[in-house]
Amino acid sequence: MGKILRLLLFACMLISTSSVFAQKTITIKGKVKFPYNRFNMEIVERQGFDKTIIDSCKVKDDGTYEFKMKVDKPGVYTLDCQKWQSVQFWAEDEDLEINFRGEDTAKIKIKNPPYVYINGGPNNEVMNLMNWDGYRGYQLMIGVSQGVYRIPGIDDQAKQEVSGKFYDMLGNESRARMRFLAEHYADRNSVLAVLPSLRGEENEELVQQVLARLESKNPNYAPLLKYKAEMAEAKAQKERLAEGKVAPEFSFPTPDGKKKLGPQDFKGKILVLDFWASWCGPCSAELINVRKAYDLLKDKGLKVVAISTDEKEKDWLKAVNAKKMNDFVNLRDSKRVLWNLFNRNSIPFILLIDPEGRIVGKELRQENIYEVPSKLMK
């Protein structure tokens, strides 16, 4: 009921402020060096894991493309280049030129496209900086994985532990850069794109300062009102999922498809819920600690429920076998429970559930994955 009331309130605010932002039409154009004409260019709106195609167009014979985008909702959108590259941009009142390399023309094709720069205005300057951080973070993650893999004389478990330490360091560095953007670009509307990466009590004061600065410019700015409504819902969600609260119920099919299971089916057991994906390096690093917890405590009744967020079933099943996870309870989050129930859009996300179904540990990482349940089961 509380969530419904908050959404109704937000809808009323949007109606009352509908005249604040008049719909604009912006031009988004550019050139694709190596077109891959099996697919179109697409403008996509994302909400959590869900996406909506706003518009699409073909690449012309000379490699150029052009959109006339009607912007009735300013905010972050994704421009997808024929399934080979994509870039996030801020749509409001800036015409944009975005050029892409396009298809990987190498004999051995790998999905690691180059950075995409947006020629635009002040709002998309922030997006360029944010996108660059994401691009460099991904490149460094690949470099860490390859470098650690080549270290002689240590086993796979030790390699994953070393990789995990590096991934955590890269994550901390990225959050520091996002704080820098929030501090120094708080006068740009697109700073709202940065704030979701700064959730957490340690950043709350900074986030409130940024929101206050935006509100002083335009208190009825629709994306600002939307973000504040989402923050209110996230806060309420956090309280509903606080330690000591009963975990929400959900069910997904097992790999053989013969039955559906969820945490409610394991009352009386201590559960480690591990949201992961086959493509997620940090998830693989944390899997070592999940495995250690299971091997140490399975005889005392510990169960691991590993919930993949892979879009493709074949990727999920291949990873389950490759990572030797068949002794876990394996499920796939095809309905996006991670987003809808836990208000999360990042992984790994690891929780601990007690025999009564209550949450007793959240955001578990590294040694806490096995130390927290060990203490609980003494």
**Looking at this protein, which amino acid is placed at residue 272?**
V
CA angle 68/227/216 to nearest 5° reads 95
Strand, helix or coil at 333?
Answer: coil
pLDDT number for residue 18: 40
d(CA 7, CA 334): 25
Per-residue model confidence as pLDDT tens digits over 287-312 = 888 998 888 888 888 899 999 988 88
Token reading at 11: 């809808």
All structural domains of the chain: 17-233 (no CATH), 252-376 (3.40.30.10)
Token reading at 316: 């999920």
d(CA 120, CA 33): 20
pLDDT number for residue 199: 80
Instruction: Give the residue carrying structure tokens 């490759």.
Output: 322
CB 364 within 8 A of CB 283: no
- Nearest Cα neighbor of 299 from 264, 270, 325 is 270
CB 46 within 8 A of CB 87: no
Q: Where are the beta strands (DSSP E) in the chain?
A: 24-34, 41-47, 50-57, 64-71, 75-81, 85-91, 96-98, 100-102, 118-119, 252-253, 260-261, 270-276, 302-308, 329-332, 349-353, 359-361
pLDDT number for residue 286: 87
DSSP output for 221-283: -HHHHHHHHHHHHHHHHHHHTSTTSBPPP--EE-TTSS-EE-GGGGTTSEEEEEEE-TT-HHH
CA-CA distances (angstroms) from residue 363 to 76, 197, 242, 352, 375? 27, 15, 11, 9, 17
Instruction: Give the residue carrying structure tokens 């390699």.
Output: 159
pLDDT number for residue 371: 80
- Successive 10-residue mean pLDDT values, the chain, 378 residues: 48 44 86 93 86 94 96 95 94 97 74 89 97 92 83 79 82 93 95 91 92 94 92 82 87 86 89 90 86 88 91 90 91 77 81 90 81 76
Torsion-angle region of residue 51: left (phi > 0), alpha (psi -120 to 50) or beta? beta
DSSP code at position 300: G
Instruction: Give the residue carrying structure tokens 């690891």.
Output: 350
Separation of CA 276 from chain center: 12
DSSP code at position 93: S
pLDDT number for residue 117: 97
Return phi, psi of residue 195, to 5°. -60, -35
pLDDT number for residue 214: 94
d(CA 268, CA 254): 20
pLDDT number for residue 162: 81
d(CA 265, CA 376): 20
- Give the residue ranges of DSSP H helices in 150-196: 156-184
CA-CA distances (angstroms) from residue 331 to 265, 285, 306, 336? 13, 19, 6, 12
Token reading at 17: 């402020």
Residue 290's contacts (CB-CB under 8 Å, 6 or more residues apart) are 272, 274, 304, 306, 350, 369
pTM for this model (two decimals) = 0.72
Token reading at 93: 């009142």
CA-CA distances (angstroms) from residue 209 to 124, 187, 320? 21, 11, 44
